[in-house]
Amino acid sequence: MTGKGKRERENVLLEIRDLHATVEGREILKGVDLVVHTGEVHAIMGPNGSGKSTLAQVLAGHPGYTVTAGSALYEGKDLLAMTPEVRAREGVFLAFQYPVAIRGITNAYFLRFAVNAIRKHRGEEELGPVEFMDALEEKLKVIGWDDSYLNRPVNDGFSGGEKKRNEILQLAVLEPKLAILDETDSGLDIDALKTVAQTVEKLRRPHNATVIVTHYYRILTHIQPDVVHVLSAGRIVKSGGKELAVELEEKGYDWIREVA
Amino acid sequence: MTEPYVRDFQAFASNGAAGAPPWLREIREGAIARFTALGFPTMKQEAWRFTSVAPIAETHFTLPGSRRPQLALRDVAALSALGAGPRLVFVDGRYEPGLSSLAGLPEGVQATSLAEATRSGPRGELARRHLARYAPWQDSAFAALNTAFLADGAFVHVAADTVLAQPLEVLFLATSGTAVTGAGGPTVSHPRSLFIVERGARATLMESYASIADGLQWTNAVTETVVGEGARVELYRVQREGRNAYHIATTQSRQERDSYLGLHVLTLGGSLARHDITTVLDGTGAELILNGLYVLGGSQHADHHTVIDHARPHCASHEFFNGVLAERAHGVFNGRIIVRPGAQRTDSKQTNNNLLLSTEARADSQPQLEIYADDVKCTHGSTVGPLDQTALYYLRSRGLSPETAQSLVTYGFAAEILGRMQRPDVRERLDRLVRAGLA
């Protein structure tokens, strides 16, 4: 193995091979291959119904999806064998397309449970309420957000845009190694999109990676992807640089179907 | 089934009630007559279709004897909802000055026993003007029975423009004849409270009910609250009686112009509990928050019937009742909102959400709107359902274990109600009771 090849191998964060998955008996993913290295931003684009959200949910461990073939290694470990909570503690984060409301539980209260679950998993000391709030305020300063979301119940009574922003707030607080953003851009106005994209940019580190699942090119003008993939009918049919996203923006998805 | 109580009443009227003023004796006579006429309700009656009081009707509960249980202050503090601060303590409905503590009450606040208050003087005049003027003893057999046996209870008067900053607790402890005094059969007590908060005053009051022993016992409580013009009252009520307790309660309040009442109800105890809450918004610009939570397990049954009566224009009422039902518990909620003719610009919102933690748990929820005015904003909604699997997955995807996720979603149902309690110190105490109830 050459020096470069070895380095790349070491830097592989996620390696998906021939992944097949079904929901309610219907096959949605039909052999997905994807390799994500640390430090990279990948965009997975594709028409509605191509399997983008299914891929995102399968990686997070949604119990409604069944993996029927293939593998997904995360830091060399079998991701698919882990429960959703272990994946999260290991550093996988999914920003939901449709975030769920948890009535009566404030963001701050919930986030302390999440942060402490992860800390405990890493063998770190859990944070008390006061320490946690200090850390949280500090984090908000870094990303330049105010604390208006902290004492509101998780996603309860939030507008669509607020819910998406709240996912990014969680992303910032939980500091995952692998962040998967499932259509985080949909339902955001231009300003909110910019804020979200800037926050994601600010959180980029050499040791983490981001997978942006999107239907639209818009968000990619704010977050520069290293690799762009086109998912169609449950398979990645084309991969390329960010110029591929531009091409999709101009030509739509129909030509991809023809290529595939 | 009413006869034994009529006989007990005759003995009571000729003996224990002798010191009462004529006006009160007259009310009692009227009340026992109404009780006899009404009889115990049956499930054939619409308001009782989900709740059978047969276990109460078929048992003859006697008034507790003169022998009183010896209680230590320490035990009382443990049963108190607030744990410290000023309080009036009652054992089986009778005032216990030795267990009570009234230090630190500001001038303008009178807290005493109803037996004392009804005697004479200006307090007697106040009691006469308000006592039994609001509670529906003409229509409710239980309120009638309580009124018939009215001899003692809590009397709290907050004079105009007075601020009662510290929460004042009224603690009713129920004993069961057998377990505590070692004699007699099951006993009933008829706790009675009269809270009068005058114009421009502010007060936080806590009404709490607990059991001393786990024996068969029946509490039949009535509370009347008057919130004067511009007054602001936070009234908390906690029922955590024993698992063999029957708890029937009538809470009636009247709000005057521009007043605010936050009525927070927490039902944790009893094997059979029924609570009728009626609030009348009887002055323009009045605001009500009616905020309730029931957390039940085992074979507990709790039924809350609420009536919010918008009698005047420009009033707002926001009602939230949540239920958490485990094992074979049964929760009943009936919420009626009446908007009287002329009560324009009424703003009323009601919700009742029930979480079923087992397949055997049950909840019945019935919202009712009766609107006789045209320029109003009224909404209501209710839900009954198991834990939301999507919510559990969402929390797990953030690293929480399935157990933690479940307890968080469950606690959220309670926290939603606790979060509306305005006093952080009281909220914290009640939060602890709720957590213990959920554990």
**Tens-digit pLDDT profile for residues B275-286:** 999 999 999 999
Say which residue, B226 or B176, is predicted with more confidence.
B226
* Chain B touched by A10 (CB under 8 Å): no
- Does B307 fall in a domain? no
DSSP secondary structure letter of residue B160: T
- Does A210 fall in a domain? yes
Give the ipTM of the model, two decimals please. Answer: 0.95
**Burial class (CB within 10 angstroms; exposed 0-12, middle 13-18, buried 19+) of A193:** buried
* Two tokens, residue A260: 């595939």
pLDDT at B16: 58
C-beta atoms surrounding B298 within 10 Å: 11
Q: Looking at CA atoms only, how far is residue B81 from chain A in angstroms?
A: 22
| Element spanning B348, H or E | strand B347-356
Q: Test A102 with B394 for CB contact under 8 angstroms.
A: yes
Nearest to A104 among B390, B396, B416 (CB): B416
**Quick one: closest CA in B to A58, which residue?**
B397
- Does A162 fall in a domain? yes
Residue pair B18/B127 in contact (Cβ under 8 Å)? The answer is: no
Nearest to A113 among B390, B404, B419 (CB): B404
Give the count of alpha carbons within 13 A of B170, CB side only. Answer: 30
Dump pLDDT digits (tens) for B23-71.
999 999 999 999 999 999 999 999 999 999 999 999 999 988 777 778 8
CA B407, distance to chain mean position in Å, is 27
- Does B93 fall in a domain? yes
Residue pair A104/A76 in contact (Cβ under 8 Å)? The answer is: no
**Count of structural domains, chain B:** 1
Confidence check: pLDDT of A3 > 70: no
The span from the CA of B213 to the CA of B149, in Å, is: 23
- How many residue pairs bridge chain A and chain B with CB atoms within 8 Å of each other? 79
**Count of structural domains, chain A:** 1
pLDDT at A1: 42
Amino acid symbol at B339: V
Confidence check: pLDDT of A2 > 50: no
Dump pLDDT digits (tens) for A68-122.
999 999 999 999 999 999 999 999 999 999 999 999 999 999 999 999 999 999 9
The span from the CA of A61 to the CA of A56, in Å, is: 9
- Does A93 fall in a domain? yes
Q: Test A113 with B408 for CB contact under 8 angstroms.
A: yes
Q: Looking at CA atoms only, how far is residue A149 from chain B in angstroms?
A: 16
Provide the β-strand partners of residue B237: B207, B265
Q: Closest Cα partner for B13 from B34, B2, B29? A: B29
The span from the CA of A16 to the CA of A72, in Å, is: 4
| Element spanning B8, H or E | helix B3-14
Amino acid symbol at B144: A
Q: Test A100 with B413 for CB contact under 8 angstroms.
A: no
Confidence check: pLDDT of A218 > 80: yes
pLDDT at A260: 52
Which residues in chain A are closer than 8 Å to B393, comparing Cβ atoms?
Answer: 62-63, 84, 100
- Does B194 fall in a domain? yes
Q: Test B353 with A153 for CB contact under 8 angstroms.
A: no
- Does A144 fall in a domain? no
pLDDT band at B154 (very low <50, low <70, confident <90, very high): very high
- Does B253 fall in a domain? yes
Integer Rg of chain A from CA: 18
Q: Test B397 with A84 for CB contact under 8 angstroms.
A: yes
Q: Test B412 with A88 for CB contact under 8 angstroms.
A: no
Q: Test A104 with B404 for CB contact under 8 angstroms.
A: no
Nearest to A100 among B390, B401, B413 (CB): B390
Q: Test B413 with A61 for CB contact under 8 angstroms.
A: no
* Two tokens, residue B52: 């059978």
DSSP secondary structure letter of residue A119: H
**Quick one: closest CA in B to A115, which residue?**
B399
pLDDT band at A257 (very low <50, low <70, confident <90, very high): low
Lowest mean pLDDT among B67-71, B143-147, B298-302: B67-71
Provide the β-strand partners of residue B233: B203, B261
The span from the CA of B384 to the CA of B390, in Å, is: 16
Provide the β-strand partners of residue B275: B249, B304
pLDDT at B215: 83
**Quick one: closest CA in A to B390, which residue?**
A100
Give buried/exposed letters for B108-137 (b at 16+ CB in 10 A, else e).
ebbbbbbbebbeeeebbebbbebbbebbbb
- Does A185 fall in a domain? yes
* A213 φ, ψ (degrees, to nearest 5): -95, 120
Confidence check: pLDDT of A9 > 90: no
Which residues in chain B are closer than 8 Å to A89, comparing Cβ atoms?
Answer: 399
Give buried/exposed letters for B143-175 (b at 16+ CB in 10 A, else e).
bbbbbbbbbbbbbbbbbeebebebbbbbbbbbb
- Does B187 fall in a domain? yes
Lowest mean pLDDT among A111-115, A144-148, A169-173: A144-148
Q: Looking at CA atoms only, how far is residue A105 from chain B in angstroms?
A: 5
* B296 φ, ψ (degrees, to nearest 5): -130, 150
Confidence check: pLDDT of A139 > 90: no
pLDDT at A6: 56
Which CATH number does the domain housing residue A52 bear?
A: 3.40.50.300
Q: Test A105 with B398 for CB contact under 8 angstroms.
A: no
CA B57, distance to chain mean position in Å, is 21
The residue-averaged pLDDT of B230-239 equals: 98
Q: Test A100 with B391 for CB contact under 8 angstroms.
A: yes
- Does A131 fall in a domain? no
Lowest mean pLDDT among A236-240, B115-119, B269-273: B115-119
* Chain B touched by A234 (CB under 8 Å): no
Nearest to A85 among B388, B396, B413 (CB): B396
Which residues in chain B are closer than 8 Å to A85, comparing Cβ atoms?
Answer: 396-397, 399-402
Residue with tokens 């461990």: A61
* B381 φ, ψ (degrees, to nearest 5): -165, 150
Nearest to A114 among B388, B399, B409 (CB): B399
Domain with A234, as residue range(s), is 3-99+158-259
Q: Classify strands A41-45 and A227-232 as parallel, antiparallel or unpaired.
A: parallel
Domain with B21, as residue range(s), is 3-283
Say which residue, B22 or A253, is predicted with more confidence.
B22
The span from the CA of B359 to the CA of B287, in Å, is: 38
The residue-averaged pLDDT of A137-156 equals: 87
Residue pair B302/B270 in contact (Cβ under 8 Å)? The answer is: yes
Give buried/exposed letters for B73-94 (b at 16+ CB in 10 A, else e).
eeebeebbbbeeebbbbbbbbb
Nearest to A88 among B353, B390, B398 (CB): B398
Confidence check: pLDDT of B177 > 80: no
Residue with tokens 């405990």: A120
Q: Closest Cα partner for B95 from B143, B156, B141, B137? A: B156
- Does A106 fall in a domain? no
Nearest to B414 among A101, A104, A170 (CB): A104
* Chain B touched by A229 (CB under 8 Å): no
Lowest mean pLDDT among A1-15, B96-110, B419-433: A1-15
Residue pair B207/B252 in contact (Cβ under 8 Å)? The answer is: no
**Quick one: closest CA in A to B420, which residue?**
A104
**What is each CA distance from A31 to A16, A55, A211, A233, A237, in whole angstroms?**
9, 11, 18, 10, 10
Which residues in chain A are closer than 8 Å to B388, comparing Cβ atoms?
Answer: 100
What does chain B come to in residues?
Answer: 439
- Does A165 fall in a domain? yes
Q: Test B397 with A110 for CB contact under 8 angstroms.
A: no
* Chain B touched by A110 (CB under 8 Å): yes
Integer Rg of chain B from CA: 21
Q: What does the CA dihedral B144, B145, B150, B151 come to, rounded to 10 degrees?
A: 170
